[in-house]
Each structure stands twice: as C-alpha cells, then as structure tokens.
Amino acid sequence: MNGKKKTLFLMALFLILMIGASVLYQSLSKNYQLDSLYVESTNNESKDTNQESDSSTQEVSNHSENTSDDSSENTSSDNSVNTNDTSTNNSSNSSDDTLFQAPDFTVYDLEGNEVHLKDFFGKPIIVNFWASWCGPCKMEMPDFHTAYLDYKDEITFLMVNMTDGSRETVEIASSFINNSDYTFPVYFDTAYNAAITYSVSSLPTTYFLNEKGELIAHAKGAIDANTLQKGIDMIYQNTP
C-alpha cells in the first residue's frame, strides 16, 4: 500500500510540475513577441507603427566596456529612438518635408579594412546590429538572409557585429556565420564606432535607409519576415 501511495504521489507531483511548466512557457511566450517598426518622423519624433507590441531584445552594456554577463533573458524596451537625444540627428532639418541624413560610421571587414556607411550611399541600405550570443538576433537572422538573397542586387545589407573582443570576437562571429551558411556581408564594430553613433543599447537593432542615406525607419528588437518586408517597402516608398 505504501508503494502505491508513493507512486500516486510521484505521479501527482509530476503532473503539477508539467502544468506549472506549461503556464510558465505561455507566460514567457507572451513577453517574447516580435518588435514593431518605427517610422523616422520629419518632426524629430519616432512613430511606432504598432505601439502595443512588446519588444524582444537583449541588452548590451556601455560600448566603452565589455558587454554584460551572458544572460539569455529577454528584456522589454520602450521601442523608441528619440532623434533629438541620439547622435542619429547630427544633421538636423528644419523642414518637415526633409528626412534625416543617417550619420556615417566606421566598421571593419574580415580582413580588417575600414568600411564606412557613406561608401554605400546611392543604394538603399539595411543596417542590422547583432551578436552571436544574442538569442533574438539569431531568431530573426534567417529572415534577413532570405531577404538578402531576394534583394541583394537592389539593397545593401550591412550586418554589423557588436565585436567587443572577449564575449564576441571576429573569430566567434565568423564561425557562427559560416556554420549557419549565411552569405550576407558581415562587418565588425571592433571600435564601437557604429554602436555609439547610433546609441545601440540592445540587440538586435535595425535601421532602414533610402538610397540618399536618409533614415526611413528602425526597429529595436527582433522582427519577423513581414515586418522586414514592411521596412523594405517603406524604403522604396521614400526613394527619390
């Protein structure tokens, strides 16, 4: 009899644990929704196309230091980049009909050569800040690769790796890209110039620029294929 009671107790305990795990999973899933897209307004504001959406981001520390400890928790952000408070507004415009010029930055290719954002002006650009330790970055990357294969002749994709030299190195990032069979170009922000210029405090972060190098929209957090396509469509709608 004692054996049967023990077995029933263990079965009940297992059932309770399974129910608890299911409830926890559903709760975490609600907080891990894809981010919305923000339009770069001409009146110094960033407008959310879906303000009720929660973000799915991974925070990084101040870029003058190494990134924070390796945590897999996702954090909610305010989903905005205020063009008045960040260096992305270093070319202010008084006209409501003028988009903001994206500030230049310097990153490095795999051979260590300098690469500048302005070098790619003349063609629409998508800039994505990412790291191989960032779960949300890896979640959205297949959609970026698909978009790259579809639009690589029309749009420049700049996949900017947050390379701090310890948690993320050129070797670690390159190994991840090669093992994942991604073929889009990757650049390394080893001097934090790009991240500081765009005040990137969480990953992933994506910017959409038209062919004149003007900021069209941005997303702070992981985005899905539909949102990525929406950003691409907005680029074409705002191309002179």
The answer, yes or no, to whether residue 189 has pLDDT greater than 60, is: yes
Mean pLDDT of 167-179: 97
- Determine the pLDDT at residue 4: 72
- Determine the pLDDT at residue 37: 80
The answer, yes or no, to whether residue 83 has pLDDT greater than 60, is: no
Mean of all residue pLDDT scores within the chain: 77
- Whole-model pTM: value is 0.69
Measure the CA dihedral 147/74/36/179, to 10°.
0
- Spatial strand order in the sheet of 156-161: 46-48, 38-40, 215-220, 205-209, 125-130, 156-161, 186-188, 106-108, 114-116
163, 173 in Cβ contact below 8 A?
Answer: yes
Least confident of 90-99, 100-109, 152-161, 182-191: 90-99
Per-residue model confidence as pLDDT tens digits over 94-140: 334 578 999 999 999 999 999 999 999 999 999 999 999 999 999 99
Identify the sign of the CA torsion 7, 13, 14, 19: positive
Per-residue model confidence as pLDDT tens digits over 67-79: 333 333 333 333 3
- Determine the pLDDT at residue 121: 97
The answer, yes or no, to whether residue 162 has pLDDT greater than 70, is: yes
109, 177 in Cβ contact below 8 A?
Answer: no
- Determine the pLDDT at residue 52: 36
- Determine the pLDDT at residue 211: 96
Phi, psi (rounded to 5 degrees) for 207: -120, 140
